[in-house]
């Protein structure tokens, strides 16, 4: 095994070899080097496990759950949340996605490209906190929901399950 790959994966030797999670991360790094683009995508709403659009992630591998990204989560009132910049933390999950999956998610999020005026969301890079440490992730954020109600917990699944809606 290449020492650089192990170091870049953020894992060291464990008794009996590398952990399964570490091996997955090393394989992901090797796929990237082989020209198979993979992206770490932070999802916080309807793409989370058990939510209505989770199936769009296909065979994408769960990298970390829970994970948190700095920002404010809001209830848009349309059955899905949005994340915007601000003080607070948004709870979600991180998946390793390929180009094809990322294109499906771009379509769902009405993302046409960086800075395109048709975008409902912008796809940006942020730092996520996980149980394994910090990592850079892609995340969709939007400033189009200025009047939306903040979700104090920062957790869409918890918010949805408690049945609390804006103004309650």
Residues with catalytic function = 109
Q: What is the 3-state secondary structure (H, E, C) of 7-75?
A: HHCCCCCECCECCHHHHHHHHHHHHHHCCCCEEEEEECCCCCCCCCCHHHHCCCEEEEEEEEEEEEEEE
Q: Which residues pair with 76 in a beta bridge?
A: none
- In degrees and rounded to multiples of 5, residue 108 shows phi and psi of -60, -40
CB 164 within 8 A of CB 74: no
Q: CA–CA separation, 106 vs 158, rounded Å?
A: 25
Q: Which residues pair with 98 in a beta bridge?
A: 38
- Here the tokens at position 36 are 């198979």
């Amino acid at each position: 095994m290449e020492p650089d790959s192990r170091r870049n994966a953020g894992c060291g030797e464990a008794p009996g070899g590398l952990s399964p999670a570490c091996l997955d991360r090393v394989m992901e790094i090797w796929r990237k080097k082989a020209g198979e683009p993979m992206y770490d995508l932070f999802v916080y709403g309807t793409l989370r496990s058990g939510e209505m659009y989770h199936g769009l992630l296909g065979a994408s591998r769960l990298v970390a759950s829970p994970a948190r990204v700095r920002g404010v989560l809001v209830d848009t009132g349309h059955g899905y949340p949005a994340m915007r910049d601000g003080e607070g933390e948004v709870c979600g999950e991180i998946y390793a996605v390929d180009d094809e999956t990322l294109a499906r998610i771009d379509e769902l999020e009405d993302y046409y490209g960086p800075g395109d005026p048709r975008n409902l969301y912008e796809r940006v890079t942020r730092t996520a906190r996980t149980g394994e440490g910090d990592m850079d992730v892609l995340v969709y954020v939007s400033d189009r929901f200025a009047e939306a109600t903040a979700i104090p917990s920062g957790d869409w699944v918890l918010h949805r399950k408690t049945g609390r809606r804006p103004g309650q």
